[in-house]
């Protein structure tokens, strides 16, 4: 269970402050002139992942803006800076930077299959690195029943699906923020939709907990009070792939350690349980 939470909090990650710049279609050499924290949305030549939080980090320059050659130390520092505890950040990096091994055909995935790197994938200094598009590789942590991405068998599982995004925004029970029950109920609804529309649906109990931990990380990092995430934060993160500094968010003062992350994950799973 701990390893699942470590890995899933990859989606609930990183950042710091600074004003954001408008979206641009091509970043190219502009990358070299932007300061850390400035928002500049990646272009066609930049690598991005299925995760809007990770993409936001690249758009703000907390990890490589082109989405390439990200080291474990960069990832760990960003995770801890946003407010994750050393156990969540360190465990996440340890698993993510393992070499990826596909499971034998017909067998379930285990944590041994959750590594994202290719064998021997290092930078010019010999440090292990990964690229953002590797977060979407099959037989790793990428899974069906995303709240804003299509299932792999149904189309584009990397980029935001407009219909699913609108469904996410409409899932707030009070119209202004998102609670644990809101997110859990949405996850259950998404499972029913995928079960109906995707004959190749791939979501076992392990991946269900991963999916709940992903949104649980968002609740823990961006939530106010008893884990209520303001709607404007969700619009910034999912709609613009931008960290919601302009909306008033700041990294939490107390770290998000595994016990708290696990409790939030289980609370969401209570509402989302589809089995």
Residue 96 clears pLDDT 60, i.e. is over it: yes
Whole-number pLDDT of residue 30:
58
pLDDT, tens only, 100-147: 998 887 777 776 678 999 999 999 999 999 999 999 988 788 899 999
Residue 266 clears pLDDT 50, i.e. is over it: yes
pLDDT, tens only, 186-218: 999 999 999 999 999 999 999 999 999 999 989
Q: How many angstroms separate the CA atoms of 186 and 109, rounded? A: 25
The total number of structural domains that make up the chain: 1
Half-sphere exposure of 242 (CA within 13 A, CB side): 21
Q: How many angstroms separate the CA atoms of 274 and 203, rounded? A: 10
Q: How many angstroms separate the CA atoms of 81 and 6, rounded? A: 16
Average pLDDT over residues 161-184: 99
Give the domain CATH number at 52: 1.10.489.10
Least confident segment among 4-8, 10-14, 98-102 = 10-14
Q: How many angstroms separate the CA atoms of 100 and 136, rounded? A: 12
Rounded percentage of the chain residues whose pLDDT exceeds 90: 68
Whole-number pLDDT of residue 243:
93
- C-beta separation of 157 from 146 below 8 A: yes
Question: What is the overall mean pLDDT for the chain?
Answer: 87
Residue 25 clears pLDDT 80, i.e. is over it: no
**Residue 190 structural domain:** 2-272
- 129: enclosing H helix or E strand: strand 129-130
Q: How many angstroms separate the CA atoms of 222 and 197, rounded? A: 32
Q: How many angstroms separate the CA atoms of 159 and 141, rounded? A: 16
Q: What is the pTM of this model?
A: 0.86
């Amino acid at each position: 269970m701990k390893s699942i939470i470590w890995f899933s909090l990859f989606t609930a990650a990183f950042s710091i402050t600074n004003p954001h710049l408008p979206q641009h279609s091509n970043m190219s050499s502009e990358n070299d002139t932007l300061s850390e924290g400035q928002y500049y949305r990646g272009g066609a030549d930049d690598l991005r992942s299925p995760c809007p939080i990770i993409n936001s980090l690249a758009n703000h320059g907390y990890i490589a803006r082109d989405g390439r050659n990200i080291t474990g130390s960069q990832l760990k520092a960003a995770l801890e800076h946003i407010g994750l505890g050393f156990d969540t950040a360190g465990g996440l990096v340890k698993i993510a930077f393992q070499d990826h091994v596909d499971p034998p055909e017909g067998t379930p995935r285990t944590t041994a299959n959750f590594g994202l790197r290719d064998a021997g994938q290092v930078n010019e200094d010999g440090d292990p690195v990964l690229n953002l598009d590797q977060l979407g590789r099959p037989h790793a942590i990428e899974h069906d029943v995303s709240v804003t991405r299509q299932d792999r068998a149904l189309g584009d599982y990397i980029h935001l699906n407009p219909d699913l995004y609108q469904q996410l925004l409409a899932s707030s029970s009070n119209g202004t923020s998102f609670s644990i029950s809101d997110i859990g109920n949405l996850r259950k609804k998404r499972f029913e939709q995928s079960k109906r529309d995707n004959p190749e649906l791939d979501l076992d109990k392990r991946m269900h907990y991963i999916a709940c931990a992903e949104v649980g990380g968002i609740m823990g990092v961006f939530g106010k009070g008893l884990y209520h995430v303001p709607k404007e934060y969700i619009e910034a993160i999912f709609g613009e792939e931008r960290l919601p500094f302009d909306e008033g968010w700041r990294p939490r003062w107390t770290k998000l350690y595994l016990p708290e992350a696990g409790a939030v994950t289980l609370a969401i799973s209570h509402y989302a349980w589809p089995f």
